[in-house]
Chains A and B, each alone.
Chain A
Amino acid sequence: MMKLTNRQFRYETTESLKMALFQIRANKIRSFLTALGVIIGIVAITMMGTAINGIDRGFDKSLAMLGYDVIYVQKSSWSTMGQWWRYRNRPDIKTTYADQINRVITANPRSELAIAVPQSSTYQASAKYRDRNLEQVFALGTNHNYLQTASGDLSSGRFFTAAEAASDEMVGVVGDDIASGLFPNEPALGKFVQLKNRKFRIIGIFRKQGKFLGLFSFDNQIIVPLGAFERVYGKSMFTSIRVKIKEQTRVTEAKEELLGMMRRIRGITPGKEEDFSINEQRAFKSQLDPIKNGIAVAGIFITGMSLFVGAIGIMNITFVSVKERTREIGLRKALGARRQTILMQFLIESVMICLIGGVTGLGITLFITFAIGQLLPSFPIQLSFDLVFASLTVSVITGIISGLAPAVTASKLDPADSLRYE
């Protein structure tokens, strides 16, 4: 019999919304102080999420630079980086493995692997042109197939050819930073850049790729034929075999196949542990998980604390509000407001305070991320829609939780008594 009509519900909710806005506007300072906990909580949660998002995105970007579909045969494993003592007695990776792998690949059309490319490299090269000098250049010796296993295209010139690679021509393809660093006012193409005591003719320039977190860049690399590299730096530099796989989704199978090949090449008897590692991007990415988890735990803790404190504050102030407005509640009941109506009115009020806090928090986060973006353009930071949605949901839930007890109290007030309340 007492079925609440839809229309009635709508009008009452509208009325409650209006009253809540009224109430909040009438008690601006009180509402703001009450919402402060929620504001801090939302700033914490969104900043945390933004930081994690940013790290993920930055990493994906740099992984894309490395190439998703490339796995690496190397002396040590990426996933246990830092434990160099485990790998120091392993024999070096030889550049000739690439040819051996390629022979197996071509003999087997069902192979998961596409092509193997050797590379020898150093991070400690210095590049010179006349009186200009660039330190900590990433010098890399490889063959003409390198571009098949790497992202990045050329902004001008060309990569070296098979013939140039085979005859160890003294030519090089340089990153954008090297081109602009050594040749700020003139075209770099055709000029000679000096590595140690050898001069290389620049035949190509890579398009600028950017940095990840300002830590690592492909824009300061210089790529030369492998033989030419060894002529400058010797054979004992850091060597790895880049192996492109055919199907990005079948990394595991490809690794399995490559592992078998390498065991045969190395002559490792079954049952013995291999003395090389096969690396892929995923392992690299998992290195970041502890950092991300740390941020997440800290963020959730701060968020939880401030929301908890905020919720208590809102509960407290809503109780005060119920007390202050006892007569109003009595009057509304006398005029026909049902329990549910009163309950909704106070719930809506606390939810609205929380929502205002949440939106304010989001605004602050937006401002902070914008400021960071302006100050540190290379720092990957982004506020996602998911985060906005999540923080608004959290605000609403906080509002409901903190408003529920006072709202129930209000709804149960006796109308006759509350009308007489002074």
Chain B
Amino acid sequence: MQSLCKFYEMGDQTVRALDSINLEFGQNDYTAIMGPSGSGKSTLMNILGCLDTPTSGLYELNGQSVAEMDDDELARIRNKEIGFVFQTFNLLPRLNCLRNVELPLIYAGVAPEEREERAAKALVNVGLGDRIKHKPSELSGGQIQRVAIARALINNPSIILADEPTGNLDTATSHDIMNIFGALSEAGNTIILITHEEDIAHYTRRIIRLRDGKIESDERR
């Protein structure tokens, strides 16, 4: 992305949530985006996840320019190219794990039998093969987040975007989840993680620090 800007009008003030950001994420990057609240990391996450479009600047995803896409095209990109993992998990409480995981496949137009098969496999991969018929309320926080990861992976996305994935989890469970991300990275996935916890960020290979809508540092390890 090049000279990416996002401005908000707040009363008569213009808030520069993101100010001329230039970033590039390569295949198999494992990145943490850090910064204090108000630094623009949520905004960046929304734009990276095609949930929002930049006020100006260029965002290319796999060579496709996203900035000028309309809502439905963005929906398709989100469906095919991006897997979301949220701090609050965001599973649909009334659906069982399998139905939650297969949700993106419905929007992708995959046939029911194939949906079920792929969703079940994804759940096995995150170690929940014996819980596929359980509802989220019957699972622990760590298990729920693993279901969410399975859902994020189901469409083989180009990027996995995780917004404070461990924010609602205790330390031990957080490490479990980070180990899953580590394994996913080793398997070749591109992962962008947003966090404000240093020790979580240190699981990654690249840390980008934001402050006041600008990049403060970008270090690879």
Chain A interface residues toward B at CB < 8 A: 1-2, 5, 7-8, 11-12, 14-15, 22, 26, 327-328, 331-341, 414-416, 419
Closest to A7 in B: B109
- Check if B23 is an interface residue, CB within 8 A of chain A: no
A18 to chain B, nearest CB (A): 9
Contact string, B151-179, partner A, CB cutoff 8 A, digits 1/0? 10001000000000000000000000000
B76 touches A332 (CB 8 A): no
A11 and B112 contacting across the interface, CB-CB below 8 Å: yes
Residue contact B71 to A339, C-beta cutoff 8 Å: yes
* Contact status B151-A335, CB under 8 Å: yes
Partner of A416, one of B52, B107, B108, B155: B52
**A335 and B107: CB pair below 8 A?**
yes
Interface hits, B180-203 → A, CB 8 Å: none
Instruction: List residues of chain B with CB under 8 Å of any chain A CB.
Output: 46, 49, 51-52, 70-73, 75-76, 78-80, 84, 86, 90, 92, 94, 103-104, 106-112, 151, 155
Q: Across the interface, do A26 and B94 meet the contact criterion of CB distance under 8 Å?
A: yes
Inter-chain contacts of A333 with B (CB < 8 A):
51, 75, 78
User: Are B72 and A339 in touch, CB under 8 angstroms?
Assistant: yes
Tell me which residues across on chain B come within 8 A of A334, comparing CB atoms: 49, 51, 78, 84, 90
On chain B, the residues within 8 Å of A341 by CB distance are 75, 107
Q: Which of A7, A14, A335, A416 sits near B103, CB closer than 8 Å?
A: A335
Chain B nearest Cβ from A46, distance in angstroms: 34
Q: How far is the CA of A335 from the CA of B90 in the complex (A)?
A: 11
Question: In the complex, A337→B110 CA distance in Å?
Answer: 14
**B72 contacts A336, CB within 8 Å?**
no
In the assembly, what is the distance between CA of A7 and CA of B114, in Å? 13
CB neighbours (8 Å) of A336 from chain B are 75-76, 78-80, 104, 107-108, 155
**With A1-B73, A22-B94, A415-B51 given, is the CB distance from A335 to B110 under 8 Å?**
no
The docked-state distance in angstroms from the alpha carbon of A334 to that of B88 is 14
Q: List 12 A-B contacts (CB under 8 A).
A: A7-B109, A331-B92, A332-B103, A334-B51, A334-B78, A334-B84, A335-B151, A336-B76, A338-B72, A340-B72, A414-B52, A416-B46
| B107 A12 Cβ-Cβ under 8 A | yes
In the assembled complex, the Cα of A102 lies from the Cα of B155 at a distance in Å of: 91
B51 touches A419 (CB 8 A): yes
Contacts of B92 in A (CB 8 A): 328, 331
Bound form: Cα–Cα A257–B24 in Å: 99
Q: Once the chains bind, are B109 and A2 in contact (CB under 8 Å)?
A: no
Q: Which residues of B contact A1 (CB under 8 A)?
A: 73
Which residue, of B80, B107, B111, has the highest number of chain A Cβ atoms within 10 A?
A: B107
Expressed in whole angstroms, the minimum distance between the Cβ of A40 and any Cβ of chain B is: 30
Bound CA–CA A153/B78 (angstroms): 79
Minimum CB distance partner of B71 in chain A: A339
Sorted nearest first, the 3 A-B pairs with minimum C-beta distance are A336-B79, A8-B109, A336-B107
Contacts beyond the supplied A334-B90, A337-B75, A339-B75: 20 A-B pairs with Cβ under 8 Å: A1-B73, A7-B109, A7-B111, A11-B109, A12-B107, A12-B109, A14-B112, A26-B94, A327-B90, A328-B92, A335-B107, A336-B76, A336-B78, A336-B104, A336-B108, A337-B107, A338-B71, A338-B107, A416-B46, A419-B86
B26 to chain A, nearest CB (A): 24
A339 to B73, CA, bound (A): 10
In the complex, what distance in Å separates the CA atom of A336 from the CA atom of B49?
A: 11
Contact across chains for A335 and B72 when beta carbons are under 8 A apart:
no
CA distance in complex: A242, B39 (Å): 100
Q: Which residues of A contact B108 (CB under 8 A)?
A: 8, 336
Q: Is the CB of A11 within 8 A of B94?
A: no
B112 CB contacts on chain A under 8 angstroms: 11, 14
Bound CA span A327–B51, Å: 13
**A15/B72 in contact, CB under 8 A:** no
Given that A11-B109, A12-B107, A341-B107 are contacting pairs, would A335 and B46 also be in contact in the complex, using a CB cutoff of 8 Å? Answer: no
Q: Chain A residues near B90: list those with CB within 8 A.
A: 327, 331, 334, 419
Docked CA distance A14–B72 (Å): 20
Residues on the B chain within 8 Å of A340, using CB: 72
Contact partners of A26 in chain B: CB under 8 A: 94
CA distance in complex: A378, B5 (Å): 81
Smallest CB–CB gap between A5 and chain B, Å? 6
B96 vs chain A, min Cβ distance (A): 12
> Among B46, B72, B84, B106, which residue has its beta carbon within 8 angstroms of that of A12?
B106
**Is A2 a contact of B78 with CB atoms below 8 Å?**
no
